[in-house]
Each structure stands twice: as C-alpha cells, then as structure tokens.
Amino acid sequence: MKLHRAIAEAYQTLTDQAQHTRLILLHPQSRYRTALVAHLLNDPLYRAYYHASGPDDINLDAFIAGILHSVSAQHPTFGRHTRLLLPDAGKEMAVLLDAFTQDLRELTTDYFYLILDEYDRTDTADDIQYFVERLSLLLPDHCRIIINSRTLPRLPWVAMIAHGRALVLLDQEVVRHDFYHTRGGQQHLEVYALGPGFVIFNDQAIDTWEGHLPRLLFFFALDRPVITRSEICQTFWPDLDDDQAVNVFHVTKRRLHKALEMDVLVHVDGCYRINPELDVHYDAMNFAGYLMEGRRTDNTKPMISWQHAIDTYRGPFLQGHQDTWIVNRRRDFQTGYLEALISLAEMRIREERLEHALGLYQRALNEDGLRHDLHQHVMELYAQLGRRSEAVAHFKRLQERAAKDGITLSPLIEQTYQEMLNR
C-alpha cells in the first residue's frame, strides 16, 4: 500500500508540474520511472504517445525515423511533414525542427505527452541531444515531452530549467539544486558565469588561463552533466578537420588543468565531466534553483526567492563573448531573470509599492527593450504615481525608436497612451 501511495504521489507531481514546463526528465535514480511511464500510458485522462529508443538510435536520422515509426503506429497520419526530409534529415536542422514541430502540432488538438523511453541509448549522439534541446523551445503549447533514461542526458539542464522549459523529477520531488552532483568534493571552487565570468579556487581568483579558450572550455564543461570530445571540437573548432581539432582540444585542456593545478576534466565512459573531487558552487545553478523556488505554488514567501534570483544575476551570461552556445545560454538565463523581475514587480504592485515595481520594470526593459508589455506597465505606473509627463516622454521615446527600427507599436500600447491622455 505504501508503494502504491508513493507512486500515486509521484504521478500527481508529474502531471501537476507538466502544466508549467515543456520537458520533464524522470531522474535516472528514480525508483518509479517505469511505473510512471506505464501509469501515463494507461491514464484515460491524457493522450500519450510512446517511443523507446533502440540500439540503432546512434544518429539523428535513425532517432527521427524511429519516432515516426512508433507514433504513426499509434496515430497513422503522424509525420507527413518530417518524412519528406528523410533520409539525411539532420543536414538542415532548422528545417527538420520546423517540420517535426508541425507534425506534433497536427497530431492532435488535445493536450498530450510524447514519451521518449530508453533515452540513454542516444547518449553518444551529439545531434540528437542538440535536436531535443532546440525542440524544447519550439514545442506546441499542448505538447509535453517526458524523458525516461538510465543516465542523465547530455542536455544543458541548468539553462533549460532557468528558462522554465524543463525540470528534473526524482520520485515525488522536483530537483532544485545541484543538478549534476558537482558538490561534495574536497577542493572548493566558486564559479561565476552571470557577468564577465570568473573562477575562485580555494579562495584564490584564477587569472592564469593562458588565453580565453581554456576558461571557456571550463564553462562549457559546466554547461551539461557530461560532454563528448566531438561535441567540444564541433563547438569550438568547427572549421578544423578532426585531427587538428582534437590536437587543439588537448592543448586547451592541458592549459585548463595547469590554470587550476589539477585535472579539472576527467574522462569517464567515453565522455568528459568536471572532476568529482571539486566542490563546485556555481552561480548559474544557484540562480536556476532560486527561480524554481519562486515558481513553487506552495511557496509562502516567493518574493524572497525572486529577490535571491535577481541578486544572483550580476549580468548576462559570460558577458562580452558572442560564441553561439554562449548566446543561446544567455537568452535562457535572461528569460529567467526577466521572469524574476516581473514576478516581483507584480507582487510589489499588489502591496501598493509602486515605486519599487516601477524600478523593477525599468530593470527588465534594460534587459529587453522590445517587450511592449513592459513599456505598457512602465507607462501605467508613471500615470498612477502622478508622473504623467514622464509617461508621455517614455511613450515618445518608444515611438521614435519604433519608427527608426521599422517596428509597429502594439495597439495595446497606443490604447494605454490614449487612455492616459484622456484622464
């Protein structure tokens, strides 16, 4: 009876959390992974489509073909857009993502789950990991992905969780801290990636990187639970042939180890990971944890969590660098930061602390000046505070910028401005 109750509680947590995110990983250490999948497949309240990866799912084409085969057996019309791209679907990743997303959108108009079981069979395939990561950004609103795996997939969980599109479920609990088990070693390491990026090792700031590549390799290694050499080479040296890229990687790795005077990256089961002897305290991971605490529906003091998240965000992720992987992570963390600012601003409005709310919305606009809803909130708060001239000036600046950039202001902004003038 206790086991039955525990599974029921875990299943309730799964379905509840799925309302607020797009992708859920059933943690490899979960005792109930298989039971939860079976429960979901047999629940008459939900539609669920199932695919178990096979031993041949070692590249994206095989993975996509397998999903098409599995889901079309459950829904015969599925996959008409994606099938046109096979074989060699992965050559045009953006086109493939668009086609697959369209197929998911047309699968049903009902809320549904896509279950990816035995996902660990794809561990060696870099292109599959990239596809699933980008797919999590594009999923239709009525689709959720459930991943069941015996290993922690090589996805950027910290950034995805900060963005709000993924979470990790361990039995009845949502994992909110130390997602990659990087804490507990004997060597103390403080890592700050939100801002320019710096590292403190045993209370000493590291400044002997011998160039920016060893430092960025270290941050890249923190990005996922484990990374492959091919993934590193493709990210940092895509224009070099394989042998050249591998040679440069080993030189860069040696410089990284020299900077911290220890083997920072260790090779395990064909992948690299941060040395478990390091006790890593990572600001990006803390930031994601605070965001998750703020999102909890049972949090009686969410404003404290939101404030902690805001305080932890000291600037854009690895500010000053424009590598593609960095820009992608930067957007994810920025989305979480905006969520924290806006959530706290809404709470301050309910408390009638309008000046504080105005400041928070202005900070949000400093991050994303194209959000018309933020401009609208700023104008409304100016008006409520009796600062009508500042509201007018704000609208005029926005109007000028929109004209310069060739952007049309939203009708809601125009309406807010006209209503303010008519008061």
Going by C-alpha positions, the residue among 390, 335, 398 that lies closest to residue 368 is 335
Name the range with the highest mean pLDDT among 1-10, 149-158, 176-185. Answer: 149-158
88 torsion bin: left (phi>0), alpha (psi -120 to 50), beta (else): left
Would strands 47-52 and 112-117 be described as parallel, antiparallel, or unpaired? parallel
Greater confidence (363 vs 202) lies with 363
User: Do the domain assignments include residue 342?
Assistant: no
Which residue do the tokens 């600012």 mark?
341
> Does 23 share its domain with 7?
yes
Compute the CA torsion angle 31, 36, 39, 40 (nearest 10 deg). -170
pLDDT given at position 410: 86
> Does 209 share its domain with 308?
yes
pLDDT given at position 60: 95
pLDDT > 70? residue 212: yes
Going by C-alpha positions, the residue among 15, 1, 9, 11 that lies closest to residue 39 is 11
My answer on whether omega of the bond before 87 falls inside 30° of 0, hence cis, is: yes
pLDDT > 80? residue 423: no
Structural domain ending residue among the three candidates 308, 327, 346: 327
User: Do the domain assignments include residue 23?
Assistant: yes
Say what the pTM is: 0.94
Q: What is the CATH number of the domain that holds 217?
A: 1.10.10.10
User: Do the domain assignments include residue 141?
Assistant: yes
d(CA 49, CA 41): 8
pLDDT given at position 420: 81
d(CA 5, CA 107): 33
Which residue do the tokens 């070692």 mark?
58
How many helices (DSSP H) and strands (DSSP E) are in the chain?
16, 12
pLDDT > 90? residue 202: no
> Does 232 share its domain with 304?
yes
> Does 33 share its domain with 125?
yes
> Does 125 share its domain with 207?
no
Mean pLDDT of 159-186: 92
In this structure, what token pair is assigned to residue 116?
């990816």
> Does 83 share its domain with 200?
no
Which of 61-65, 269-273, 414-418 shows the lowest mean pLDDT across its residues? 414-418
> Does 169 share its domain with 185?
no
Structural domain ending residue among the three candidates 125, 155, 174: 174
User: Do the domain assignments include residue 66?
Assistant: yes
User: Do the domain assignments include residue 170?
Assistant: yes
> Does 154 share its domain with 235?
no
> Does 11 share its domain with 160?
yes
pLDDT > 90? residue 213: yes
d(CA 363, CA 356): 11
Facing residues of 144 across strands? 113
User: Do the domain assignments include residue 114?
Assistant: yes
Domain count, the chain: 2
Q: What is the CATH number of the domain that holds 36?
A: 3.40.50
pLDDT > 70? residue 418: yes
Alpha-carbon distances, residue 379 vs 1, 98, 305, 414 (angstroms)? 57, 37, 27, 11
Convert the pLDDT of each residue in 73-109 to its tens digit: 999 999 999 999 988 776 789 999 999 999 999 999 9
Would strands 187-192 and 198-201 be described as parallel, antiparallel, or unpaired? antiparallel
Convert the pLDDT of each residue in 296-346 to its tens digit: 999 999 999 999 999 999 999 999 999 999 999 999 999 999 999 999 999
Structural domain ending residue among the three candidates 311, 327, 343: 327
> Does 6 share its domain with 140?
yes
pLDDT given at position 175: 94
In this structure, what token pair is assigned to residue 120?
């660990």
pLDDT given at position 336: 98
pLDDT given at position 127: 95
pLDDT > 70? residue 1: no
Percent share of the chain, pLDDT over 70:
99
pLDDT > 90? residue 370: no
User: Do the domain assignments include residue 415?
Assistant: no
d(CA 195, CA 161): 19
> Does 35 share its domain with 112?
yes
Domain holding 273, by residue range, is: 177-327
> Does 166 share its domain with 184?
no
Mean pLDDT of 236-248: 97
Helix (H, G, I), strand (E, B) or coil at 194: strand
Largest CA distance in the chain: 70
d(CA 353, CA 69): 56
Cβ neighbours of residue 171 under 8 Å, at least 6 residues apart?
6, 10, 27, 30, 31, 32
User: Do the domain assignments include residue 365?
Assistant: no
pLDDT given at position 183: 82
**Three-state SS letters, 77-102:** CCCCCCHHHCCCHHHHHHHHHHHHHH
Burial 315-352 (b: 16+ CB within 10 A, else e): bbbbeebeeebbebbbebbbbbbbbbbbbbbbbbbeee
Show the beta-strand stretches assigned E in 109-219.
112-117, 143-148, 166-170, 173-174, 187-192, 198-201, 204-205
- pLDDT-based confidence at residue 185 (cuts at 50, 70, 90): confident
Cβ neighbours of residue 115 under 8 Å, at least 6 residues apart?
37, 40, 41, 48, 49, 50, 51, 145, 146, 148
